[in-house]
Structure 1
Amino acid sequence: MMSFDLTDSLLKAYATNHRINIYLIKNVPDEAWREKFAKKGRDVASIVAHMHNVRLMWLKAAGKTAILPAKLDGDASTKDDAIQAHQQSWQAVDHVLRDAFASDGRVKGFKPDAGSFAAYLLAHDAHHRGQISMLARLLGHPLSQSAMFGLWEWGTR
């Protein structure tokens, strides 16, 4: 009987998380992309940019990325810009995770370990997916029912 490979499982979960993020970006109604609910609040584009830019912050701290992806400007980015940026930052973080799992299990600047780092990133993205879904609904431009269900289809994404 083969043993369970936790490293592989965490990397697959992080990849699925990425695909779910892209699915959400593609399915947010265009009308909700730039609209703000409150004067001081973020719009969907800015939340999506924040998700990417937080990855960049951790990539810089980890110091394992030869070329840091560009920051995403929430005030100017399109959905296509966001998808491209998320693809780049996901690949860079995936590389950091793979290196950490293959060595001492640590990510520079993050405690306690690489598994917790992966969990932190998943939780951060999930929190903001919820924010985006709720914001779109509050703005009167909710995600379709099928898109909402699609966010939970981890077995097929």
Structure 2
Amino acid sequence: MNEIVETWEIHNRINLYLLNSIEEAHLSSVSLSKGRTVAEHFAHIHNVRLMWLKSGMPELLDSVEKIDKENITKDLLINQLNQSGVAITKMIEKAVNEGKLKGFKPHPTAFLGYIISHESHHRGQIVLCLKQSGHPIDKKIAFGLWEWGTR
């Protein structure tokens, strides 16, 4: 497997690792400065993936659906993040093989850096929302977010 694709897949598993550790009741947690709920951050991550799929490989959009703010459940998030993760894998594989990603410059490796940076920013926001609302993640989970060699 290509190392770029494998890096994306590890990152996606880290997102799901965090999501799986959060109690459903805590998906409505928000930070002290308000803004998105934990669930809305995860939905945003997924929906931005769809935006990139639309420009880079629209034929993959059939396997995923946009997540609306209303009625977000943990199962829905897990299912859709899994599906969009697979679709992004396919898009990255194609982009690496072709040396370019339609709609993104300069190249596929930069796209990987961009999307991981974007999603990691929101992962940090999620952890902050949980902490500030009195539901901090377990220390084992916090350290596990950095265990890329075992995820």
Gaps of 5+ in 1: 1-6
* Cα deviation code 1:17-74 (max 9, x no counterpart): 0100000101123332113345851100000000000000000011343425100123
Match of residue 129 from structure 1? 123
Structure 1 residue ranges, 4+ long, deviating more than 6 angstroms after superposition:
none
Of structures 1 and 2, the larger Rg is shown by: 1
Q: After TM superposition, give the deviation of residue 148 of structure 1 in Å.
A: 0.6
Q: After TM superposition, give the deviation of residue 139 of structure 1 in Å.
A: 0.3
Matched, 1:65 2:59: yes
Measured on the aligned residues, the alpha-carbon RMSD in Å equals 1.7
Tell me, what secondary structure is at the counterpart of 1:119?
helix
Asked if structure 2 preserves the Cα contact closer than 8 Å seen for 1:28 and 1:143, the reply is yes
Gaps of 5+ in 2: none
**Aligned pair partner of 2:94 in 93, 99, 111:** 99
Normalising by structure 1, report the TM-score.
0.89
Counterpart CA distance in 2 for 1:79 and 1:31 is 9
> How many positions carry a matched residue from both structures?
150
**Aligned pair partner of 2:42 in 20, 45, 48:** 48
Asked if structure 2 preserves the Cα contact closer than 8 Å seen for 1:59 and 1:68, the reply is no
Counterpart CA distance in 2 for 1:128 and 1:19 is 15
Aligned-pair identity in percent equals 39
Normalising by structure 2, report the TM-score.
0.92
Match of residue 78 from structure 1? 73
Given the superposition, is the C-alpha separation of residues 13 and 102 from structure 1 closer, same or farther in structure 2, using an over 3 Å criterion?
same
User: Is the helix fraction higher in 1 or 2?
Assistant: 2
